[in-house]
Structure 1
Amino acid sequence: MIDSSLVILYVNNPEASARFYADLLGKQPVEASPTFAMFVLPSGMKLGLWSRHTVEPASTGTPGYGEIVFSAGSDEQVNSLYSLWQEKGLDIAQPPVALDFGYTFVARDPDGHRLRVYRLSQE
């Protein structure tokens, strides 16, 4: 069986996106160039930001059809991150709400990629 440990988002400006994610994640990329940046998250997952103008083969899709999901330990942490991300000026697509899987909100990065924070239901 194969495994996955890297998610790549195609972005308009990798350097600007790297600054955005460095502020959001509170850490610097482990790799950065004009066309690509990569972060390693505490879970070990890697987040790559690749220039949509140089990716091969070319990508013609638009962002927003998938999500990067961040888990929270409590409803309070969800609310705290929501407030923090609002203060940072993130575009909020969905304010905190209880859904069938848990308590969640959704924001968007500067390229329109969806960023979901959730706390899994305890039921």
Structure 2
Amino acid sequence: MPPSIVFIVYVNDAPEAARFYADLLSIKPSFETPGYIAFGLGDGADLALWSGHTDGLTPTVPRTSEVCLALPGGPDEIDRRFEQWVTKGARVVSEPHDEVFGRTFVVADPDGNLIRVAPVD
């Protein structure tokens, strides 16, 4: 069996964060406990929300990593996704703009964790 990889995002309230990510990404959890909820991303990759280590974490604590959703479809698709997520109430950190790798934007989850949308490489 090939190894799998789990990207863990620390949150204060796993069920609340799971509702946010499920709505934002239109996916359902593949594993749930009160403090740890995972979403299968395919090909041995999961996104997990864990409320087990939140000492001192608040939305105001600077986050130095990002979860990145890579979309096909070019700049227009990036802009469409931005509008969808703003409508869903995502907190905008960086509006759509062009970078060396293409069109991108960043939002934050309720705990301040960063979520970037960018084009597929």
How far off its partner does 1:63 sit? 5.4
Letter in 1 for 2:110: P
TM superposition score normalised by structure 1: 0.83
Letter in 2 for 1:69: C
**Which has the larger displacement, 7-16 or 69-78?**
69-78
Percent of pairs identical after alignment? 34
Aligned to 2:71: 72
Aligned to 1:38: 38
Q: Secondary structure at the match of 2:119?
A: strand
Change (3 A) 1:117 1:38: same
Mapped to 1, the partners of 2:56 and 2:4 lie a distance apart of 23
Aligned to 1:21: 21
State the 4+ residue runs in structure 1 displaced beyond 3 angstroms.
Answer: 58-63
User: Where do 1:1-123 residues align within 5 Å?
Assistant: 5-42=5-42, 44-51=44-51, 54-55=52-53, 62=61, 64-73=63-72, 74-119=74-119
- The answer to whether the 8 A contact 2:75-2:102 is kept is no
Q: Secondary structure at the match of 2:15?
A: helix
Count of aligned pairs between the two proteins? 116
Higher relative contact order (CA 8 A, sep 6+): 2
Letter in 2 for 1:66: S
**Which has the larger displacement, 60-69 or 37-46?**
60-69
**Root-mean-square deviation over aligned CA pairs:** 2.2
Change (3 A) 1:120 1:27: closer
Mapped to 2, the partners of 1:14 and 1:110 lie a distance apart of 11
Letter in 2 for 1:46: D
Q: Give 5+ residue unaligned stretches, structure 1.
A: none
Mapped to 1, the partners of 2:43 and 2:71 lie a distance apart of 13
How far off its partner does 1:105 sit? 0.4
